[in-house]
Amino acid sequence: MSQFRERVIDFGDAGNNTRINGSPKGWSLPRHYYKDPEIFEKEKKAIIFNNWLFVGHSTQIPNTGDFFTYQLLDENIIIVRKTDGTVGAFYNVCRHRGSAICKRESGKTKRFICPYHAWGYDVDGNLVSARAMPEDFKKEELSLHKCAVELVGGMIFINLSDNPTSLSNAKRDLAEIFEMYDFENVKVAAHKTYPIDANWKVTLENYQECYHCAPSHPEYALSHTLKVVPEEFDELQKPMESRMEACGVKNIVLDQQYDKQEEGQEQYAYGRYALFEQYKTGSKDGEPVAPLLGNLKGYDHGGSDLNIGLLSHFFIYNDHAVVYVFVPTGPDTSACQQYWLVRKDAEEGKDYDLEKLTWLWNVTTLADERIIVDNQKGINSKKYEPGPLSDMEYLIDKIYDWYLAELEKAD
Question: For ligand FES, which stretch binds (CB under 6 A), given 94-102, 189-197, 279-287, 325-333?
Answer: 94-102
The residue among 69, 112, 110, 111 whose CA lies nearest residue 94 is: 112
Q: Which is nearer to Fe ion, 122 or 368 (CB)?
A: 368
Q: Which is nearer to ligand FES, 116 or 264 (CB)?
A: 116
93 touching ligand FES, by CB under 6 A: no
Q: Which is nearer to ligand FES, 102 or 389 (CB)?
A: 102
Closest approach of Fe ion to the CB of residue 240, in Å: 22
Q: Which is nearer to ligand FES, 112 or 178 (CB)?
A: 112
297 touching ligand FES, by CB under 6 A: no
**In the set 31, 35, 45, 96, which binds ligand FES (CB under 6 A)?**
96
Per-residue CA distances from 3 to 43, 207, 253, 303 (Å): 26, 10, 11, 10
Q: Other CB atoms closer than 10 Å to residue 155's CB: what's the count?
A: 25
Instruction: Beginning with the edge strand found earlier in the chain, give each strand of the sheet holding 148-152 in spatial order.
Output: 53-57, 155-159, 148-152
**In the set 47, 53, 80, 94, which binds ligand FES (CB under 6 A)?**
94
Per-residue CA distances from 381 to 31, 64, 110, 375 (Å): 9, 52, 53, 10
The residues that bridge with 56 in the sheet, in sequence order, are 156
**In the set 27, 67, 119, 326, which binds ligand FES (CB under 6 A)?**
119
Q: Which is nearer to ligand FES, 99 or 256 (CB)?
A: 99
Closest approach of ligand FES to the CB of residue 159, in Å: 25
Rounded to whole angstroms, the Cα distance separating 260 from 171 reads: 17
- For residue 120, give the H/E element and its range: strand 120-122
The residue among 67, 51, 74 whose CA lies nearest residue 148 is: 51
230 binds, among Fe ion, ligand FES, none (CB under 5 to 8 A by kind): none
Q: Which residues of 261-289 are buried (b: 16+ CB within 10 A; e: fewer)?
A: beeeebbbbbbbbbbbeebbbbbeebebb
**In the set 97, 104, 110, 370, which binds ligand FES (CB under 6 A)?**
97
**In the set 20, 106, 116, 348, which binds ligand FES (CB under 6 A)?**
116
**In the set 59, 64, 71, 99, which binds ligand FES (CB under 6 A)?**
99
Question: For ligand FES, which stretch binds (CB under 6 A), given 95-103, 277-285, 335-343, 354-362?
Answer: 95-103
Closest approach of Fe ion to the CB of residue 266, in Å: 25
Rounded to whole angstroms, the Cα distance separating 25 from 37 reads: 24
Rounded to whole angstroms, the Cα distance separating 322 from 303 reads: 11
| Residue nearest to Fe ion as judged by C-beta position | 368
Q: Which is nearer to ligand FES, 119 or 200 (CB)?
A: 119
Mark out the alpha helices in 28-160 (DSSP H runs): 37-43
**343-372: which residues touch Fe ion (CB under 5 A)?**
368
The residue among 2, 11, 45, 38 whose CA lies nearest residue 406 is: 45
The residues binding Fe ion (CB under 5 A) are 368
The residues binding ligand FES (CB under 6 A) are 94, 96-99, 114, 116-119
